[in-house]
Structure 1
Amino acid sequence: MDTQRKQILAYSALIGGFDLLNSAYEFYYVKVFLNFYHIEESWFQFSQILFLLWNAINDPLFAYCSDNKNFKILRTRRAMILYSAPFFCLSFLVPWFQWSTNPVIVGIHLIFALCLWDTLYTFVGLAGCCLFTEISKDPNIRITITRTAQVAALFGSISVMLLEHASNGLQNFQAFQVTTVFIALLSWCLMYYCGKNCHTQYDLQQMQDENKEADDVCHEKTEGESYWKQTWQIVSDTNFLSFVITNFCQQFHRTFLFNFLAIFCDHLVSSDEISQSTRSTFYGIVPFAAKILVISTAPILQYIPYQKVIRANFIWKICGGVVMYFFIGNHHPWMLILFFFLDGCFANGTFSLFNLPLSDIVDDNMSKYNRKHPISSMVFGTNALFVKPAISLSPMLAVAILNRYGYSYIQHSKNSPVRPTGSNPSPDQLKDLKDAMFFLVCWYPIVLGTIQLISWSFFRITNRIEKNH
């Protein structure tokens, strides 16, 4: 029991450190490059396309290597985290220090920042997902891990609030930069602890055998199969396809909320109605509240299957968007803030549960093909191959729509030290932009929630807790 508690604690340290970086990165990088570096739309879209392509290559590549190779750094999940954590923390810092004001250099800066970040994000994140699956196959323990990890993620989610208040909503950019360095160091300490202490049940089995016979046995099955054979076994599974479509839409929605929450609030909610300090607190509370939601409701998952809990979120998305767009409108700032809060809270909270169905897919694959060792990395990596393009496509679509309504022009006019006569945006331009933003805010959850509700109905793995009851 002591060993298991140590495993859960170490895994939770990883989640805390990971969320410190990820929350801040997703929340700020689009705003920093759009509003401060004034990246041109063509470069922004080009960088997202390259980012998408790199995503398609590195996830399955790292996944297959992780499950099938014997390099020292890939041999255990904790070793992957231990050796890559310092570089992951460094990659987090790259976007916040401008290289040049030249438009080409700004574009190259974003391309480099995104690709480096995603490489290390994949390496560390993939190891963390596999740790979750391989620490235990007991569904009750997995729920306990989920709840404990969310306590750590609660700590990790403070990074946005720290940065908001330290920089006064990015008005003091130097203070923002100093705070990002502090966050990176703190995150590395937490991930270092995980890399030293988080042994899976398979790691412990190998450690007990001095000749590593167990390692040979564990890899005997997977090493005899090609990458393409394993991939086909995964993607031909109806449960996996159902989950991937659902997860893609969830990631698309979350990325939209993370990247554009501050931008939309700044335009849709007047500073006369809600002060900057209140906004900064709100931006920090949204990811914080999502963790509280998971922590407080996790015990329910021992009695109600997670499938039903996840489905309830999709129903909320559709109903919430419809009510906000057709019945409330965009002239009630506090109702809009409440909608942002609930939408972000439920979207992130539900996403935190997605390791449960994905781990069940891993277990089902192991049983179906009579494996002695789960191909966790391959399942998680193949999932990422289809899902992570949403991280690029979501901001690409939103930026393209916003710029059609003059967002780029309005930002340049607002930040230009010299404004020629007649250069200020007209009231009609501002109104059109606000209407477009409000349309996106409401219709993203309606459309995505509908797709998810349909796709999730094809997920057929029966929750083992439901069986026991």
Structure 2
Amino acid sequence: MGRRLWSSFSSFSWCLHDGRDVLLSTALLYGSLSLFVSLLHNVFLLFYVETFVSVYKIDKVSFWVGETVFLLWNSLNDPLLGWLSDRAFLSSAPQGGGGGGSPPEVVLRRLRALSRNGPLLALSFLSLWVAWAPPGLQFLLCLCAYDGFLTAVDLNHAALLADLAVTHRDRMRLNFHCSLFSALGSASVFLSYVFWDKENLGWFRVLCVALASASALGFLGASRLLQRRFHKEARLQRHTEAQLLRELAVGQPSGDTQRSEVTLGQYLRQLSNNKNFLWFVSMNLVQVFHCHFNSNFFPLFLEHLLSDSISASTGSILLGVSYIAPHLNNMYFLTLCQRYGVYQVIRWLFVLKLGLSVAMMLAGADHTFLLCVFIASNRVFTEGTCKLLNLVISDLVDEDLVLNRRPQAASALLFGMVALGTKPGQTLAPLIGTWLLCAYTGYDIFERNDPVKAAAAALAPAPPPAVLSGPLGGAPPPLRLGCFYMLVCVPITCALLQLAAWQRFTLHGRRLHLVKTQRTSQQQQGAPELPGDAQGEGGDAATTHLLDVKAV
């Protein structure tokens, strides 16, 4: 396994033959942007709630008001920022109509947005760790500001995946570098645990300043280097287009080729007519729910299923592995995607999730080693699937461009619309999880010290010991049984729903090949013919790398 992972790393990182060193350096710079996000976001997820609850002593009403407003803002800012970014690309004018901008100019627009919003994200991250306003007000403002800048960074970074490359091989190489740098950024999880002390945040604040400074400088440096490269290509393309117009004696486009603006309502109707988009959003909604369910209840499962069998240090190792392993595992998944295709690999992951969950249910909760492996692998494989979905969304961007004959791919907007349809999974995960736990065991996670609730959980009837039994044959506590059933039944349900939706998704194989070919032909209108790439699933054949076109 290690040898295969190393060989895949070498093949991805040192593929410098046939003149593709430009792609390598672009992939490195693009992937490094994931490092600068990961450095901050892991620390934010781990400590922002505990900081406001345990250190700033925010009251319960202010906390829930802030969370409610945050959930609304978190759901709406993705399509809002995507619409503001890409609404100019929704016209139905032909590629040569002068609207929407050329690919290098679109990339430059995204890079300028990253160079602005990256440092602002770091600044909003720092505002969390110093008390500068009443806790309720600071909680609301900090969360909305941080999430707004994070959304702006994520949307533009994800959109670049669709703008920089068309073929699966190039997009996988970009995604590979993102996973590599995200794994490096996960080191901030271990550092933050070392410096965290809620009684004295002094050293923790020093660490946060260092992380924010590194992130801000990294965003500025990487985005500026990429801008410098595409500035040259944009000038070259404008000069070439002007020369062609002079040679052909072509002036401004006539009135019948002027683009017609597409309203938000028309765009939504276009998306609703795309069955692949609807089936993908349905599948991804369940995926987002499962990812956040694992994150929210990971500590609860460790506490009630494994606390009597493993040490605290082993639990912390499991937690750390669950953050880093998905990024490393994704590198191996990408090699499988190159061989078998993204669609097939994602389908195998759903089948694997279903099989492991059924096997764990049959084995029972008495096998400590199996429980450790299942809890860790469940999170690793689920998060690993999420890492591959950006490749599918990029394919949906291509399909949207071809079906609606857009002058330029509205990639940020489509990523935002996917987020709008899937963000409710973040809210549903803790709500459904706590409801299931309370309905089955009587255990209320928000009132765990209430003696009435504790008595109800203790007196709840124990089910038959056919599936679970204690070491001496007696039934285990109902709370432990409820946690185990949640652990195995939620993945089984999610896997069945996802397999049903994924089966209806048709953007793979021959259809994807046709979409890739048509998008590439649109990008090459008026450009010299270049040799194509004859490998990969769904459109790698007879297509040309956008980066190779730009390098000319």
The percentage of counterpart residues that share the same residue type is 27
| 3-state SS of 2:388 partner | coil
| 3-state SS of 2:407 partner | coil
Q: 1:289 to 1:195 in 2, by over 3 A?
A: same
Q: 1:452 to 1:18 in 2, by over 3 A?
A: same
Alignment map for 1:183-194 (pairs within 5 Å): 183-194=211-222
Q: 1:41 to 1:456 in 2, by over 3 A?
A: farther
| 3-state SS of 2:507 partner | coil
Amino acid at match of 2:268: T
* Contact 1:48/1:392 (<8 A) preserved: no
* Contact 1:45/1:396 (<8 A) preserved: no
Match of 1:78 among 67, 92, 111: 111
Cα distance, 1:211 vs structure 2: 8.3
Post-superposition CA distance 1:157-177 (Å, at most 9, x none)? 222222234438x79765544
* Contact 2:444/2:453 (<8 A) preserved: no
For the residues of structure 2 that align with 1:409 and 1:373, how far apart are their CA atoms?
53
Cα distance, 1:374 vs structure 2: 0.6
* Contact 2:32/2:177 (<8 A) preserved: no
Cα distance, 1:7 vs structure 2: 1.9
Please, which moves more after superposition, 387-396 or 83-92?
387-396
Match of 2:153 among 113, 124, 138: 124
For the residues of structure 1 that align with 2:265 and 2:228, how far apart are their CA atoms?
27
Q: 1:192 to 1:94 in 2, by over 3 A?
A: same
For the residues of structure 1 that align with 2:424 and 2:177, how far apart are their CA atoms?
29
Cα distance, 1:382 vs structure 2: 0.7
Q: 1:107 to 1:458 in 2, by over 3 A?
A: farther
Q: 1:188 to 1:436 in 2, by over 3 A?
A: farther
1:357 and 2:428 are equivalent in the alignment = no
Tell me the residue number matched to 2:502: 456
Contiguous gaps of at least 5 residues in structure 1: 414-421
Post-superposition CA distance 1:118-164 (Å, at most 9, x none)? 21111000000111111111221111111122111111122222223
Tell me the residue number matched to 2:429: 394
For the residues of structure 2 that align with 1:438 and 1:180, how far apart are their CA atoms?
37
Amino acid at match of 1:250: Q
Post-superposition CA distance 1:211-232 (Å, at most 9, x none)? 8989x99xx9877222222232
Match of 1:345 among 380, 384, 404: 380
* Contact 2:117/2:149 (<8 A) preserved: yes
Amino acid at match of 1:466: E
Tell me the residue number matched to 1:419: none
Q: Which has the higher helix share?
A: 1
Post-superposition CA distance 1:346-404 (Å, at most 9, x none)? 01111111111111111111112222211111211111111122223323433555676
Q: 1:112 to 1:353 in 2, by over 3 A?
A: same
TM-score (norm 1): 0.83
1:408 and 2:446 are equivalent in the alignment = yes
Contiguous gaps of at least 5 residues in structure 2: 1-19, 89-99, 243-251, 460-475, 514-535, 542-552
* Contact 2:119/2:217 (<8 A) preserved: no
Q: 1:187 to 1:152 in 2, by over 3 A?
A: same
Q: 1:46 to 1:245 in 2, by over 3 A?
A: farther
| 3-state SS of 2:537 partner | helix
Tell me the residue number matched to 1:8: 27
1:224 and 2:261 are equivalent in the alignment = yes
Amino acid at match of 1:26: L
| 3-state SS of 2:191 partner | helix
1:297 and 2:333 are equivalent in the alignment = yes
Aligned residues: 449
* Contact 2:114/2:219 (<8 A) preserved: yes
Match of 2:370 among 313, 332, 335: 335
1:438 and 2:484 are equivalent in the alignment = yes
* Contact 1:291/1:349 (<8 A) preserved: yes
Cα distance, 1:179 vs structure 2: 3.1
Post-superposition CA distance 1:21-72 (Å, at most 9, x none)? 23333344456566777767665554443223213332111111111369x9
Amino acid at match of 1:445: P
Aligned-pair Cα RMSD in Å? 3.6
Amino acid at match of 1:317: K
* Contact 1:20/1:157 (<8 A) preserved: yes
Please, which moves more after superposition, 185-194 or 371-380?
185-194
Q: 1:393 to 1:91 in 2, by over 3 A?
A: farther
Cα distance, 1:75 vs structure 2: 6.6
1:139 and 2:176 are equivalent in the alignment = no
For the residues of structure 2 that align with 1:424 and 1:379, how far apart are their CA atoms?
46
For the residues of structure 1 that align with 2:312 and 2:116, how far apart are their CA atoms?
40
